[in-house]
Amino acid sequence: MLIGYARVSRDKQDLAAQVEGLERLGVDAERIYTDKLTGRTAARPGLQSAIAATREGDTFVVTKLDRLGRSVPDLRDITHDLHARGVALQMAGAIYDPTDPFGKFFLTTLAAVAEFEADMISMRTKEGLAVARAKGRLNGKPPKLSQRQHMKVLTEYESGTTTPGELAQDYGVDRATIYRTIDRAKKMREGSQ
């Protein structure tokens, strides 16, 4: 049986291309497990469920190795776990055997490249943030609500006629945003006095 796994690093990213790729490789849609979490950790619920669903003789399928993980130790542990269960690892159209010297070399090389790529992305992001901070252009994400809306939310909240949950629904945001909005509005009001 084929068991598929797809992962994206952020909640807003789309898994559709990977899922379609797995289906083209013959994985039944009901046997595809997914995560929307960074690959820097092996503690991913979809990955754990996918591995748990495998049985001896199954094939674990990913479209690319970096979808399985981005660190050499984690990838080594995952591939060894699969091998110990008697499960083959398939990336795209090829099956890799971690006990075969060529397969082991190839997997280790791909894992090192994936880890290097993740490290480079992290380094470039940190450098970009430092440059933006130095230029005074980085203050976090802009608020979802305008200043005028901030004051309206605070007024409605302080009136006691509506709950944060109702305000979140009215303004099309989550409750955490409402709480941040209330805090910002209070600071704006204090600053103007």
Beta strands 2-8 and 59-62, pairing class: parallel
- The beta-strand segments (E) located in the chain are 2-8, 32-36, 59-62, 88-91, 94-96
Query: Which residue has tokens 């060529």?
Result: 102
| Structural tokens at position 119 | 């490290």
The residue type at 82? L
The SS3 assignment for 95 reads: strand
Residue of 9, 49, 71, 159 with catalytic role: 9
The separation between CA 105 and the C-alpha centre of its own chain, rounded to angstroms, equals: 28
Q: Is 9 a catalytic residue?
A: yes
| Active site members | 9
